[in-house]
Structure 1
Amino acid sequence: MPRRRLTQQDRQRIAAGLADGLSYREIARRLDRPTSTITREIARNGGPAGYRPQQAHQATIQRARRGTPAPPPAATPPVATMEHEIIEMAVGAGMPRTAARVHHDLMLSEDGRRTAAELTQRLNVSPASVSVAVNYLVQHGYARRERDPRRRRDLYVIDNDAWHGSVVISRRQTLETVRAMMAVAEACGLDSPVGERLAKTAAFLEHVSLDMIESADRWRHLLT
C-alpha cells in the first residue's frame, strides 16, 4: 500500500499538537501515522520551535515538482541531542512539554533566572505559554517568582534548593491524597473490602512520603 502523504490539514494539526506540548508519538497517534513520519516532517521543516505548517506544505510541493528528494535533517549537535532527551524524559514523567523546556532553560542560565521576555524569545513560544509553564513549575516547587523592583518585572528563578522544595510539595500533595482516601475508607467502613483496600493504600503512601522527606532532609546539604 503506498504511503499516504501528509496534507495541509495534517500539518496544521502537527503545529497545533506542538503548540499544545504533545509528544511526537501522541501527534502521530492522533493522525494515525508512524511516529517516524512526524519526527521526519518536523525535523525537515524548522524543528519543534520553528515548525510552520504553511511553509512546510509549500516546501513539500516544490520538492515534488522538482522531483528531488527532501534534504536530510541537519546534524544535531551531541549537546542538543542530550538536552532534547532530558526534556523528553521530563515529559515522559508527566511534566507538560513547555514547562519542561522552561525548566531546562532556567537550569542552563548562568544565574538560574530569566525574565518572561527572555523565555519567550529563547523558546519561541507565546507569553501566555510561558505564564502557564511557570505557574506549573512554581506550583510544584521547581521554580519561584521574584520581583525586580528596578524594572518592575517578574523574574523566574531556579536554584539548588528547588529540588528539596519540590519534594516537600510532592509530600504535601501526597498527604492530602492520604487524608482523602482515609475519609472515604472510614465512610465505607474500615472492615469492608473497599475500606480496607483504601486504608492500606493510604498507609503505604503515607509511609513512602515520610521516607522521602526524611531522605530529602538528610541529603539536603549536597545542594548547598
Structure 2
Amino acid sequence: MPGGRLNQQDRQRIAAGLADGLSYAEIARRLDRPTSTISREVGRNGGPGGYRPQQAHQATVQRARRDTPAPPHTAGPPGGAVEEEIVELAVRSGMPRMTARVHVDLLLSEDGRRTAAELAGRLKVSPASVSAAVNFLVQQGYVRRERDPRRRRDIYVVDDEAWYHSVVISARQTLESAQAAMRGAETVGLDRPAAQRLAKAGTFLERVTLDMMESADRWRTLLA
C-alpha cells in the first residue's frame, strides 16, 4: 500500500532497482514511496552495495518486535544525556538511528574500538542490525575495520583520522554529482534553461566541494 510499511515484495523490487543502477528517486517513484523511505531502507540495511532484501526484511521484523514505548524520562548519568543528544543530532542530519547509535557508542568508548559482539551486547540489538550499521559507517569513512587474526573477528575502530576520511568521502560523492550535472547540461544543450540550471548548480557544487577538500587537507594536522 502506498505510504505504508515496506513489505518483502517491495524490498525485492528495491534490490532489483539497485542492481539495475537506478537512483533512489526512481526506485521510490516505481514503488510510489517517498525517496527518503528508500534512502533510509537502503542505508540501514547494508547500503547500495550490500543491500539484501531477505536480511533487510528479517532485520525490520526483529526491530518491530523490540520496539516498546519509551519509559518516562528520568535523570541519569551525564554520559547518557550526552550520548542521547549526539544520537538525536545525527538522526536529524539524516543518519539512520541504529547507525547513529553504533557510531556514538564507538565514539564514546575509551579506545574507540569495539567488536560486533560487543556492540550488539551493549546496544541490545541483533548482530544483523550492527552489521548493517557498520557497513554504512565504513562506506562513509566514519569507521574502519581491523582484523583480529588470533580470534578471526573484525574490530571496528573510530580514530582521529576518521573525521578526515568521512569529510573527503562525502566531498568526493558531491563532486561526482556536480560533474554529472555539468555533463548533463552539455548533453541537453547549454542554450536551454534546464541545462543552464544544471550547469550553474554543478559549477557551484564543484567549487564548494573543491574548497572543502582543500580545507580538509590544510587542517588535517589538527587531528595528528
Range with greater deviation from structure 2 (148-157 or 101-110): 101-110
Q: 1:38-187 residue pairs with structure 2 within 5 A? A: 53=68, 73-187=73-187
- Greater RCO, 1 or 2 (C-alpha within 8 Å, sep 6+): 2
Letter in 2 for 1:150: R
In structure 2, what is the Cα distance between the partners aligned to 1:172 and 1:52? 37
Letter paired with 1:82: V
- The alignment's C-alpha RMSD in Å is 2.1
Structure 2: distance between partners of 1:151 and 1:88: 35
Bigger radius of gyration, 1 or 2?
1
Give, in angstroms, the shift of residue 182 of structure 1.
1.6
Match of 1:64 in 2: none
Q: Return the TM-score normalized by structure 1.
A: 0.67
CA deviation after TM superposition for structure 1 residue 190, in Å: 1.1
Distance in 2 separating the partners of 1:72 and 1:111:
32
Distance 1:142 1:52, change over 3 A: closer
- Cα offset, 1:187, TM superposition: 1.6
State the 1:201 CA deviation: 0.3
CA distance, structure 1, for counterparts of residue 167 and residue 194 of structure 2: 30
Moved more, 171-180 or 205-214: 171-180
Percent identical pairs in the alignment equals 65
CA distance in 2, matches of 1:75, 1:166: 34
Q: Does the Cα contact within 8 Å between 2:142 and 2:163 map onto a contact in 1? A: yes
Gaps spanning 5+ residues in structure 2: where? 6-62
Number of aligned residues: 161
The AA in structure 1 aligned to 2:138 is V
Which residue of structure 2 lines up, in the alignment, with residue 222 of structure 1? 222
1:191 to partner: Cα distance: 1.6
Q: Which runs of 5+ in 1 are unaligned?
A: 1-12, 14-47, 57-70
Flag the 1:171–1:52 CA change in 2: closer, same or farther, 3 A.
Answer: closer
Change (3 A) 1:108 1:78: closer
Indicate how the Cα distance of structure 1 residues 89 and 52 shifts in structure 2: closer, same or farther if over 3 A, else same: closer
